[in-house]
Structure 1
Amino acid sequence: MLTVSTSCGAIETVPYRSDPLHHYRCVADLPDPVLLDSGGPHGFDIIAAAPLADCCLHLPAAPDAAAVAAFFAGLEARHGARPPVDDARAALPFAGGLIGFIGYDATLPLHGLTGRAGPGSTPAAVVNEYPWAVVQDRSRREAWLVARPGLPAGWRRELLTRLRDPSPPPTAAFQLAAPFEADMDAEAYREAFDQVQRFIGAGDCYQVNLALRFSAPFSGNPLGAYALLQQSGSAHFGAYFPLGPGRALLSRSPERFLAVRRGVVTTEPIKGTRPRSADAAADRATAQELMSSDKDRAENLMIVDLLRNDLGRNCRPGSIRVEELFALRSFPAVHHLVSTVRGELAPGQTPVALLRDSLPGGSITGAPKRRAMEIIHSLERAPRQAYCGSLFYLDDAARMDSSILIRSLLAEDGQLHCWGGGGVVADSVCEAEHREIYDKVGGYLRTLETTAQ
């Protein structure tokens, strides 16, 4: 059994669990637990709880510009005060630090827009500072408890006892009381789609991501809903983030937003979608059709250009490069076109500044970003809340990874909300764009609707 302890922290081996929900349940009764779930046979899982009591940063449901500025200043200050990291902790992908989300609504004041409060009072952003975490390596099938220096020995023993429990407490039942309903029917969606087309025709914009919100009443523990979604297929950026009794953010996102490693910035925007087929030949044909689609490639390229500009605000001039363009990546429900853009942080710039200046992600707004956001604000019937924001970690070794909060749900006040959207461009067809929304999230809705009475 590995045990490493230095003045810069400690690492101890704990049992590997193929289902990270096992370790999560072991600590779920502690304050503010969180699960980052990489899915599949590779990658890492991160489970943490009991953050530092005096280091919670949050934004109200509809913050103003001053509150958003203070929030990011607080993030910068907390990250700047992080403790040192030795080689042992740095060898793991997370060494303790900040974990949280910044919702789409929290980003509106960054672009001169006024937020709308959602149906509940769920915060627009929450970030906690965690002095310890469980880190699982799925490839090596190994797991460790990693702790900052100063974590009391008694508290560490308590965590080890919990994490070595072969049978943690069960999760309370989850059930929908009715099927999901969209906030716009097909006719209302067409009216919004046609309005976007008029804006594009007038030269206001080139692309707008238009979304629907689906809602259903539920009872029980939202963790049960996450467990069902987890069983329906893997996600590179899965997450479960409780926000109080009966409230939680659930994400099965496939999309990386921003990652920072040793000063190198990576973003991987998704644009271009086709549904998977159970027939192998038909599935290959669909994937090939997506890869050769001029419309989807143009849509993807618009967002790549937008993100190059966003990264240019904090990256060293001349360092930004497109390393992969229009790569096919296949997920359980859909095929996507994914591009990869990299740059190098400029001297004096920080991951927090990069995050602030790049939010919200261009792949879920449109181009140009500010005008697309104004159009979204005028046409979508419900605030996006956390949807299309970003969930991220920023650790003591100055490493950041973050996702775009797509394929994500919000449980609040007895309602479970799920959003789905797609980029509308000049040659989009309304029926195809509407169908694409259901291709993306329909599987999740149907999975959860199996619990409805």
Structure 2
Amino acid sequence: MQIQSLSFDVALRGPYFPRSSLSRTFTFPSPFTKPVKCFSLKHTVPTFTTSARRKIRCKVFSYHLDARAEKEELARFVKASKKGNLVPLQRAIFADHLTPVLAYRCLVQEDDREAPSFLFESVEQGPKGTNMGRYSVVGAQPVVEIVAKEHSVSIMDHEEGKLTEEKVDDPMSIPRRIMDNWNPQLIEDLPDAFCGGWVGYFSYDTVRYVEKKKIPFSSAPLDDRGLPDIHLGLYTDVIVFDHVEKKAYAIHWVRLDQYASVEEAYQDGKNQLNAFLSRIHNENVPTLSAGSIVLSTSQFGPKLKNSSMTNEEYKSAVLEAKEHILAGDIFQIVLSQRFERRTFADPFEIYRALRIVNPSPYMTYLQARGCILVASSPEILTRVKKGNIVNRPLAGTVRRGKTEEQDLLHEQQLLSDEKQCAEHIMLVDLGRNDVGKVSKFGSVKVEKLMNVERYSHVMHISSTVTGELLDNLSCWDALRAALPVGTVSGAPKVRAMELIDQLEVTRRGPYSGGFGGVSFLGDMDIALALRTIIFPTGSRFNTMYSYRDAKQRREWVAHLQAGAGIVADSVPADEQQECENKAAALARAIDLAESAFLEQ
């Protein structure tokens, strides 16, 4: 049997197989120390052995179009190639046998903690509370990675096997530069979701590339974790789940500049797409632990006591911030602290628990270089779609009631709270200013003002600010203008951030930055990194212990950061308690994961 192209994740770090026949021996760069060889091609089930002595059996999946459909698709592909150099191919499959969580585990081995990959899910506001978002997206094995630490940038091209290092003023210019070389063309409509492109995170410190003089890296607090300031992966293979139509779309983007002819590009693109589907239809489908969902408070863990700041240090910082407010230096500032908790629960198990504990519009499990993000954010940092910018300030919070009548009462109380309403209006003004920097004159509008949105446990005051992006700008400019949003910094933003550098003791890292995707088509959807647990994966955090009997489980360090908005009449003890409450609410996911997966 001759197979034109196959790509499987058989390595601990997940490099790609070359476009070659499986009857040959393939040689890989590090981390492989020996070539990888196909030992069997019987019954279309090749078996591979890696240098790590791991055997993986993969069932070859073939999605055939009939002759007429394939001829029509090729004709559309050729037509698109005359206008652009990047064309997606897609195949739809039934999704009733597969979930996004299981699809992710099919693509990424359980112990492959540093393989860049992502899972995006969403729960949206509905008329009676929250509903499952229409789309979920899964991706693994980026073809390019960008890792920025201050002004040093590493660019890893996994297809070419090249590592390039640069010194730049603004690392965000690099993915933008790479995208400028592409002209994507569609041959059929794609799902109305992220369908391929850049995925990763932008730390809070990304703002230092924008405000170089007033907020330089030299003024930043202690960097005790050394995490990247930006990590992005370029994903040409993704799976999009449509929960309404009960279908999943496997999408592969074909880069025409890699081929001698359009016909060769099309044929290899089909093979690559079938290979991608084969990874989902793995013969040995991973088993996910069922777990038991027990949300009783008796199952919750101890109070979070280990923080980057003591109670007295945080209260002192609040008092100092109030002095600046009373002096007219700022109107508001958000001061945060980082809590730490150790757990034997796996980050992916904790993500599964977080989906239960705190379903939100932006849920993600994101493996990046140096850390794993487990997030459930309710708020947009910035969104750009077909040239339209959206900013949605979310500020003002009250707990959900147990009944519809209680919900309505709490809504009235929230909208009658002068302090929370005043803070929200101030953030709407900041949002209008941020959107206005990159929008056409007269296009900025407040489409919705002070609506109450209901989530699983709380209700928020929400407003929506929109604008039309200037013709000479891109979504990257909109992101630069938005960083960071006022809900995590203060007002005025720049002066508040200067004081944050003075009053907080460690760098925030991904917290209060953003995570999300920038599509090949130039759209952007970046969530604000709140309600986000950070799991460092560096060597000094890498420990393994026996957990009950001989079962090996790694003990993870979980970082949970939370802040409070400080205004003139803030009470230091109350703001400290607010930080503790927010972190404890996020830690409920760890509590649930431990009770569900460790107590079995």
Q: TM-score, normalised by structure 1?
A: 0.90
Structure 2: give runs of 5+ residues left out of the alignment: 1-62, 78-86, 124-130, 154-165, 255-264, 292-299, 542-555
Partner of 2:147: 58
Q: Please state if 1:16 is matched with 2:121.
A: no
**Deviation at 1:403?**
0.5
Deviations 1:9-28 (A, max 9, x none): 21111332674211111111
Does the 8 Å contact 1:75/1:352 carry over to 2?
Answer: no
Q: CA–CA distance in 2 between the matches of 1:128 and 1:296?
A: 38
Does the 8 Å contact 2:343/2:557 carry over to 1?
Answer: yes
Partner of 1:44: 135
Tell me which amino acid in the other structure corresponds to 1:428.
S
Partner of 1:148: 253
Partner of 1:249: 373
**Mapping for residues 242-281 of structure 1, pairs under 5 Å:** 242-244=367-369, 247-278=371-402, 281=405
Q: Please state if 1:158 is matched with 2:275.
A: yes
Q: Which piece of structure 1 moves more, 69-78 or 343-352?
A: 69-78
Q: Please state if 1:316 is matched with 2:440.
A: yes
Deviations 1:152-177 (A, max 9, x none): 43332222123245973246999x99
Q: CA–CA distance in 2 between the matches of 1:286 and 1:120?
A: 41
Partner of 2:480: 356
User: 2:171 aligns to what SS in structure 1?
Assistant: helix
Partner of 1:92: 192
Alpha-carbon spacing, 1:434–1:331, altered in 2? closer, same or farther (3 Å): farther
Q: CA–CA distance in 2 between the matches of 1:383 and 1:366?
A: 17
Q: CA–CA distance in 2 between the matches of 1:86 and 1:135?
A: 16
Q: CA–CA distance in 1 between the matches of 2:152 and 2:568?
A: 34
Counterpart among 544, 554, 567 of residue 425 in structure 1? 567
**Mapping for residues 71-150 of structure 1, pairs under 5 Å:** 71-86=171-186, 88-111=188-211, 112-113=214-215, 114=217, 115-116=220-221, 118-149=223-254, 150=265
Partner of 2:491: 367
**Deviation at 1:83?**
4.0
**Deviation at 1:303?**
1.2
Q: CA–CA distance in 2 between the matches of 1:220 and 1:57?
A: 29
Partner of 2:119: 35
Alpha-carbon spacing, 1:70–1:374, altered in 2? closer, same or farther (3 Å): closer
Does the 8 Å contact 2:203/2:513 carry over to 1?
Answer: yes
Higher relative contact order (CA 8 A, sep 6+): 1
Deviations 1:26-64 (A, max 9, x none): 111384211111134223211111111xx311212x558
Structure 1: give runs of 5+ residues left out of the alignment: none
**Mapping for residues 354-433 of structure 1, pairs under 5 Å:** 354-412=478-536, 413=541, 414-433=556-575
**Deviation at 1:431?**
4.3
Tell me which amino acid in the other structure corresponds to 1:101.
Y
Alpha-carbon spacing, 1:291–1:389, altered in 2? closer, same or farther (3 Å): same
Q: CA–CA distance in 1 between the matches of 2:167 and 2:513?
A: 17
Deviations 1:113-157 (A, max 9, x none): 223453323211101111121111233332111121256433322
**Mapping for residues 216-231 of structure 1, pairs under 5 Å:** 216-219=341-344, 221-231=346-356
Does the 8 Å contact 2:95/2:247 carry over to 1?
Answer: yes
Alpha-carbon spacing, 1:211–1:318, altered in 2? closer, same or farther (3 Å): same
Does the 8 Å contact 1:325/1:339 carry over to 2?
Answer: yes
**Deviation at 1:89?**
4.4
Q: CA–CA distance in 2 between the matches of 1:220 and 1:446?
A: 12
Does the 8 Å contact 1:14/1:164 carry over to 2?
Answer: no
User: 2:120 aligns to what SS in structure 1?
Assistant: strand
Q: CA–CA distance in 1 between the matches of 2:94 and 2:412?
A: 42
Alpha-carbon spacing, 1:378–1:59, altered in 2? closer, same or farther (3 Å): same
Does the 8 Å contact 2:198/2:517 carry over to 1?
Answer: yes
Q: CA–CA distance in 2 between the matches of 1:314 and 1:128?
A: 26
Q: CA–CA distance in 2 between the matches of 1:314 and 1:298?
A: 26
Q: CA–CA distance in 2 between the matches of 1:259 and 1:137?
A: 21
Larger Rg computed on CA atoms: 2
User: 1:349 aligns to what SS in structure 2?
Assistant: coil
Partner of 2:469: 345
**Deviation at 1:99?**
1.1
Q: Please state if 1:236 is matched with 2:361.
A: yes
Q: CA–CA distance in 2 between the matches of 1:383 and 1:371?
A: 17
Q: CA–CA distance in 2 between the matches of 1:191 and 1:199?
A: 13
Tell me which amino acid in the other structure corresponds to 1:44.
Y
User: 1:88 aligns to what SS in structure 2?
Assistant: coil
**Mapping for residues 168-179 of structure 1, pairs under 5 Å:** 168-170=285-287
Q: RMSD of the alignment, in Å? A: 2.9
Q: TM-score, normalised by structure 2?
A: 0.69
Q: CA–CA distance in 2 between the matches of 1:117 and 1:146?
A: 42
Q: CA–CA distance in 1 between the matches of 2:520 and 2:278?
A: 26
**Deviation at 1:184?**
3.1
Does the 8 Å contact 2:440/2:468 carry over to 1?
Answer: yes
Does the 8 Å contact 1:27/1:49 carry over to 2?
Answer: yes
Does the 8 Å contact 2:252/2:272 carry over to 1?
Answer: no
Counterpart among 199, 213, 235 of residue 324 in structure 2? 199
Q: CA–CA distance in 1 between the matches of 2:302 and 2:582?
A: 21
Q: CA–CA distance in 1 between the matches of 2:398 and 2:571?
A: 14
User: 2:178 aligns to what SS in structure 1?
Assistant: helix
Does the 8 Å contact 2:133/2:361 carry over to 1?
Answer: no
Alpha-carbon spacing, 1:168–1:426, altered in 2? closer, same or farther (3 Å): farther
Deviations 1:221-274 (A, max 9, x none): 3212211111213111111111258x3011110101211111111111111112
Q: CA–CA distance in 1 between the matches of 2:151 and 2:508?
A: 14
